[in-house]
Chain A
Amino acid sequence: MDLLLEPIEPFVPAWGSPEEWNSACEKLESYLRAHEVDSLLHRAHLITMILRRVSSRWKNQTPPAPPATLVIEETNRLLNEWFTLIMDLPAETHDRFTAADGRVALFLCNGPLRWPYAFLEPRNIPDDLKTAMRKSLMRAGPELQISNMVPRPIDLGLIPELADDTMDALNRMPVIKAFIGWLIFLSILTYLFWMTR
């Protein structure tokens, strides 16, 4: 009987244990879900693509970290490249915040929802996604127009000035303050004594 199925090239990691790659696969899926890649189809495609890249990159060398770490690093690298491509940024501006800026633009234009198969795809990036992301502008505040707002001195008048000085003096002399408190209390007691005779 002829086989109707075309042969599919299987992905077999070139190094590491199956448990390590399972864990890498699980983490990568979580990371993509956190980026709102909700399409199972697209997520599966991205997972295979990234795992393959990591596996082949360290095929002939000792990997510096377990696959779970390397897949996240690879994804971040791809994200930076993808955002640079979409936002049309010069390569020299590429820094650790490129991904942050790209994510903001993607979030503001509802990218993952509106273009469910475009995330991290370097080829055939929809033009409207590019336009939407480039137009996404998050302004937390308008241009500053600095004004000088300085308190003017206020004349409190004689009595408050005296009270201010007295309170200042009393704050510096807590013993005197307590003594005045005792005097007031004593006066109340004396008054009560006199009233009840």
Chain B
Amino acid sequence: MTAVKILSGAQKIRRRILFFSLAFLLITLATWVMADILWRGGGMNSCEIAILILFTILFTPVSLGVVQALTGFILLWRGRDPARLLNRLEKTDTLPDLPVTAVVLPIFNEDVSRVYEGLRAIYRSVERTGHLSRFDFFILSDSNDPNKWIEEEMAWAELCKQVTGFGRIFYRKRKTALNRKSGNISDFCRRWGGKYRYMVILDADSVMSGDCLVKLAQLMELNPQAGIIQAAPVQALSESFFGRGMQFAGSLYGPLFQAGLNYWQADEGNYWGHNAIIRLAPFIEHCALPDLPASKTPRAKFMSHDYVEAALMRRAGYEVWLAYGLGGSYEGGPPTLLDMAKRDRRWCRGNFQHSWLVLSPHVRPINRMHLALGIMSYLSSPLWLFFMIIGTMQFWIVSRYPVHTFDSDVGLSSLLDIGGNQLAITLFIIIISLLFLPKLLSLILILRRKETSHPFGGRLRATVSVVIEHLFSMLITPILMIFHSRFVLGVMAGQEVGWGPQRRGGKDGIDWGEALEAYGGHTLIGILWGLLAWKINPAFFWWMSPVFIGLVASIPVSLLLSKVSAGTALRRMKLFITPQESNPPVELAELKVSLAVCDQHVPPLEPLRKNYGFMQVVIDPYVNAIHIALLRRHNKRRLDSAYFSELQNRVITEGPDVLTRREQMALLMNPECMAWLHEQIWKLPSEKLAAWWTMALRQYNVLESKPQTALYL
């Protein structure tokens, strides 16, 4: 197939010149006004110079965001964008036949019900398109929690049974989770990458419609130069106040930013790690991650592999596209602010690792920009903090040593005939308006027609939702500023960040203890800083009050935001309604029903809960058999029999509690041990077994005679 460029080189350059000129214009004008405000009494002191430099740096991402939103607004208003990738699909009369595509789902100690029910929804959706034979599904597990591992195996067998998916849905458990998620994907590529032309990568909470998957594969076929096509995921199925707020913001503002982003990046887009299709041959050849320089761990890889893989794909000459407007691509989101902060901690570390590549001559300029913007999204927090600390110092200096008056009539003030104070207020208002502008533009886009505002709850409710979302985002911003500043300092100090599963739903929010521990520092900083600001100058206190309010109220705000009950109440009032809620796509509706059934499951008895997976695999003949069958396929190594005999005897006479997770995993990895343990537990008289096993045997048959899996349909 001949490759036809969607945009010529000259068109791309024209777009970028226009885009960045507008951003440059905004930055320079704002910097001029700021310099004018600071330049009083014949010059600037070092504090003022620092403030001006920081202001310019910090205003850059703001202006880029505003211009991106404006561009997106114009494109969506006109409803015509020649660089929209989907145009090619819509204009093609004969769609290509699809090669078999691998859909891979890397998981690590995730909520098994959520993962497998999500996969079931995707599988069913693909089945409905009539293209099921063109997709193979792979669950790639790195779980190191014995319970999760056993649950995953059983859920896989059960799901395959239920949807007749054997030979189409595959399960692989790595023995060693080398290089985390990127290592898991590379392992897949090395084993099976040669069989497939494309691979779609999902996240543990991703849901993609069959239509979306088919279109992605068709787009790849129509664009032989495309290396990666990213389908923009929309957050869905959130229930907490915070989650629904984020979901609403993503659904409403997302399309605007995506259209604007596509305007300047075009075929040099980015990869966000999941809900994307990848051309496997160039990925295998060019996108193996290089080792991280200067790492304490030898052969450590980049944590946020996606940006690097996009850069490597571009370096190899392939295009990376954002398929905005495609639809059918969903993801979960953190249910609380604290969960988002935990996620950001990992992302912050990952993004800072990219600083090694920003100056690499082998990285293309636009990828360099993506990497730099990723770093800046976290670095801006400590810079804002520093900016405000210096601002406080400057006010203190001015209040103690009034060398010049803020209202002296110079520069722009004299030209506009307003005092320096009024000029500062004007700049403040302009900046606040610019921050609100993308939200306003998104709102205008949906308000102009009844059919576009209805999915968001109608015109009035959509407007009220935007106002509430904006107020809460103002409260959250200083909280995140402190979190991100801590993370950045941690990264600079070389603190390691662990790899843990994300909480993607669950209980009704965080409790007071958790909130106090997480936000106690924020509150204290807010109170002390507020008192200091008041002492320096009450007017300065009022200027800074939005920051102080956010910090001081961080505990109650975070508690309220984490509540599922608050999210449900807002839903009853038809606030924060998204199109996925008002008119749920089949995949999400099915998933919701399945998860509701899973939630009704009675959890195992408390004493058995901790080792329930281990109990199942030892006691249940079918769980044991499936586990052994899966192990024997790749377990060829010699085993240290003395070590395993000792472990086996301990587990029988003292129960699984006495084994560490590592020891349990060692036993679980050994098919001989698992077959032997199953026999012994049933054969031995109760006096030779640990009391835990006697209770487990009694309870197992009383509670459930069938293997319990994460699927209950």
A residues near B, CB below 8 A?
23, 27, 30-31, 33-36, 38, 65-66, 68-69, 72-73, 76, 96-97, 99-104, 106-108, 110, 137-160, 163-164, 167-168, 171, 191, 195-196
Jot down 5 A-B pairs with beta carbons below 8 A, ordered by A: A34-B701, A35-B621, A149-B284, A154-B312, A156-B359
Q: Which of B219-227, B564-572, B676-684 contacts A (4 or more CB under 8 A)?
A: B676-684
In the bound assembly, the distance between CA atoms of A103 and B172 in angstroms comes to 21
Does the CB pair A38–B705 fall under 8 Å? Answer: yes
Does the CB pair B357–A154 fall under 8 Å? Answer: yes
Does the CB pair B190–A148 fall under 8 Å? Answer: yes
- In the bound complex, residues from chain B placing their C-beta under 8 Å from that of A157 are 359-361
Closest 6 CB pairs of A and B: A103-B625, A145-B194, A151-B288, A167-B294, A100-B625, A164-B293
In the bound assembly, the distance between CA atoms of A187 and B160 in angstroms comes to 65
Q: Flag whether B643 is at the interface (Cβ < 8 A).
A: no
Q: A69-B683, A171-B296 are in contact. Are A107 and B625 (CB under 8 A)?
A: yes
In the bound assembly, the distance between CA atoms of A30 and B700 in angstroms comes to 9
A136 to chain B, nearest CB (A): 8
Q: Which A-chain residue is minimally distant from B153 (CB atoms)?
A: A140
Q: Flag whether B629 is at the interface (Cβ < 8 A).
A: yes
Does the CB pair B357–A147 fall under 8 Å? Answer: no
Q: A33-B705, A147-B284, A156-B357 are in contact. Are A138 and B194 (CB under 8 A)?
A: no
Does the CB pair A138–B671 fall under 8 Å? Answer: no
Q: Which B-chain residue is minimally distant from A96 (CB atoms)?
A: B675
Q: A147-B284, A167-B294 are in contact. Are A159 and B359 (CB under 8 A)?
A: yes
In the bound assembly, the distance between CA atoms of A150 and B299 in angstroms comes to 13
Does the CB pair A154–B290 fall under 8 Å? Answer: yes
Q: A27-B682, A149-B288 are in contact. Are A160 and B360 (CB under 8 A)?
A: yes
In the bound assembly, the distance between CA atoms of A156 and B359 in angstroms comes to 7
The 0/1 profile, CB within 8 Å of A marked 1, for residues 591-635 of chain B is: 000000000000000000000000000011110111011101100
- In the bound complex, residues from chain B placing their C-beta under 8 Å from that of A160 are 293, 355-360
- In the bound complex, residues from chain B placing their C-beta under 8 Å from that of A156 are 293, 356-357, 359-360
One of A36, A191, A195 near B397 (C-beta < 8 A): A195
B402 to chain A, nearest CB (A): 15
Does the CB pair A196–B397 fall under 8 Å? Answer: yes
Q: Flag whether B193 is at the interface (Cβ < 8 A).
A: yes
Q: A146-B190, A156-B360 are in contact. Are A104 and B629 (CB under 8 A)?
A: yes
- In the bound complex, residues from chain B placing their C-beta under 8 Å from that of A102 are 625
In the bound assembly, the distance between CA atoms of A139 and B156 in angstroms comes to 11
In the bound assembly, the distance between CA atoms of A53 and B633 in angstroms comes to 36
Q: Which of B647-676 contact A (CB under 8 A)?
A: 671, 675
- In the bound complex, residues from chain A placing their C-beta under 8 Å from that of B360 are 154-157, 160
Q: A140-B171, A140-B633, A147-B189 are in contact. Are A168 and B294 (CB under 8 A)?
A: yes
- In the bound complex, residues from chain B placing their C-beta under 8 Å from that of A107 are 157, 622, 625-626
Q: A107-B157, A154-B360, A171-B294 are in contact. Are A140 and B630 (CB under 8 A)?
A: yes
Does the CB pair B170–A34 fall under 8 Å? Answer: no
Q: Which A-chain residue is minimally distant from B697 (CB atoms)?
A: A30
- In the bound complex, residues from chain B placing their C-beta under 8 Å from that of A103 are 621-622, 624-625
In the bound assembly, the distance between CA atoms of A6 and B454 in angstroms comes to 79
- In the bound complex, residues from chain B placing their C-beta under 8 Å from that of A150 are 288
Q: Which B-chain residue is minimally distant from A68 (CB atoms)?
A: B685
- In the bound complex, residues from chain A placing their C-beta under 8 Å from that of B293 are 156, 160, 164
Does the CB pair A108–B166 fall under 8 Å? Answer: yes
- In the bound complex, residues from chain B placing their C-beta under 8 Å from that of A31 are 621, 682
Does the CB pair A34–B700 fall under 8 Å? Answer: yes
One of B166, B289, B682 near A72 (C-beta < 8 A): B682
Does the CB pair A149–B190 fall under 8 Å? Answer: yes
One of A144, A168, A195 near B192 (C-beta < 8 A): A144
Q: Which A-chain residue is minimally distant from B283 (CB atoms)?
A: A149
Does the CB pair B705–A34 fall under 8 Å? Answer: yes
In the bound assembly, the distance between CA atoms of A35 and B624 in angstroms comes to 11
Q: A137-B167, A138-B157, A141-B192 are in contact. Are A153 and B625 (CB under 8 A)?
A: no
Q: Flag whether B706 is at the interface (Cβ < 8 A).
A: yes
Q: Which of B136-174 contact A (CB under 8 A)?
A: 136, 138, 157, 160-161, 166-167, 170-172
In the bound assembly, the distance between CA atoms of A31 and B171 in angstroms comes to 29
- In the bound complex, residues from chain A placing their C-beta under 8 Å from that of B359 are 156-160
- In the bound complex, residues from chain A placing their C-beta under 8 Å from that of B629 are 100-101, 104, 138
A sample of 5 more A-B contacts (CB under 8 A), given A139-B170, A160-B358, is: A27-B682, A72-B683, A96-B675, A145-B194, A157-B361
- In the bound complex, residues from chain B placing their C-beta under 8 Å from that of A143 are 195
Does the CB pair A149–B167 fall under 8 Å? Answer: no
**Residue of A108, A141, A155, A195 ringed by the most chain B CB atoms within 10 A:** A141
- In the bound complex, residues from chain A placing their C-beta under 8 Å from that of B286 are 152
Q: Flag whether B362 is at the interface (Cβ < 8 A).
A: yes
One of A110, A137, A141, A155 near B170 (C-beta < 8 A): A141
- In the bound complex, residues from chain A placing their C-beta under 8 Å from that of B573 are none
